[in-house]
């Protein structure tokens, strides 16, 4: 259900998380799944539903050793971390897709023009090599919008 209908699946899991702590890992995964594949507004709404579900569970079944206020702070911090991780993963996916499309373009040019002068072939092969190294590196490209 989650793969076919990620938003309804995540919302159902959020409701289940309100009823049982055992559903929390699945609900968190579903929220991250939605965050990676849907626009920010949809992902924020699903994340908000998850927070509300956990707040309801905290009221319904409080943890005896932890005051409700601190429990709320922990739930909100955990959801904020999950949202930030999803944002970083989405940006890394975009960067990798851009680098791989550049790689495919130059490789296609090499395939299309095998009779090009050796200097052009060497230059194109150098771009393919450099693009491969950049695609395999962990860092974002220069000028990235990601904060340090």
Residue 126 resides in a domain: yes
How much is the pLDDT for 138? Answer: 56
Q: What CA dihedral angle connects 129, 135, 139 and 141, to 10 degrees?
A: 80
Residue 42 resides in a domain: yes
Residue 28 resides in a domain: yes
pLDDT, tens digit (0-9, with 9 covering 90-100), for 76-88: 787 777 778 878 8
Q: Which residue has the higher pLDDT, 62 or 12?
A: 12
Residue 74 resides in a domain: yes
Q: Is the pLDDT reported for residue 33 higher than 70?
A: yes
Q: Which residue has the higher pLDDT, 19 or 138?
A: 19
How much is the pLDDT for 8? Answer: 92
Show the CA angle centred on residue 16, arms to residues 15 and 18, nearest 5°.
Answer: 65
pLDDT, tens digit (0-9, with 9 covering 90-100), for 97-132: 888 888 888 888 788 887 888 888 888 888 888 878
Q: Is the pLDDT reported for residue 40 higher than 70?
A: yes
Residue 101 resides in a domain: yes
* Burial class (CB within 10 angstroms; exposed 0-12, middle 13-18, buried 19+) of 27: buried
Residue 141 resides in a domain: no
Residue 75 resides in a domain: yes
CB 36, CB 14: distance < 8 Å? no
Q: Is the pLDDT reported for residue 26 higher than 60?
A: yes
**Mean pLDDT of all residues in the chain?**
81
The residues, ordered by sequence, that sit 6+ positions from 98 with a Cβ below 8 Å of its Cβ are 141
Q: Tell me the two tokens of residue 72.
A: 């709320």
Residue 144 resides in a domain: no
Look at residues 22, 27, 21 and name the one whose alpha carbon lies nearest to residue 6. Answer: 27
Alpha carbons 30 and 8: distance in angstroms, whole number? 10
Q: Tell me the two tokens of residue 30.
A: 């579903």
Q: Which domain holds residue 86?
A: 6-136
Percent of residues, the chain, with pLDDT higher than 70: 91
CB 55, CB 68: distance < 8 Å? no
Global confidence as pTM: 0.48
Q: Is the pLDDT reported for residue 148 higher than 60?
A: no
């Amino acid at each position: 259900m989650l793969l076919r209908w990620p938003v309804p699946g995540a919302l159902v899991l959020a409701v289940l998380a309100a009823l049982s702590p055992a559903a929390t890992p699945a609900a968190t995964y579903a929220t991250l799944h939605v965050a990676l594949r849907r626009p920010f507004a949809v992902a924020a709404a699903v994340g908000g539903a998850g927070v509300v579900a956990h707040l309801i569970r905290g009221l319904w079944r409080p943890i005896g050793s932890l005051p409700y206020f601190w429990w709320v702070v922990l739930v909100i911090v955990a959801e904020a971390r999950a949202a930030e991780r999803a944002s970083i993963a989405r940006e890394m996916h975009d960067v990798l897709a851009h680098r791989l499309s550049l790689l495919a373009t130059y490789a296609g040019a090499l395939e299309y023009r095998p009779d090009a002068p050796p200097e052009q072939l060497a230059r194109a092969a150098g771009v393919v090599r450099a693009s491969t190294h950049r695609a395999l590196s962990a860092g974002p490209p220069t000028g990235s919008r990601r904060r340090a």
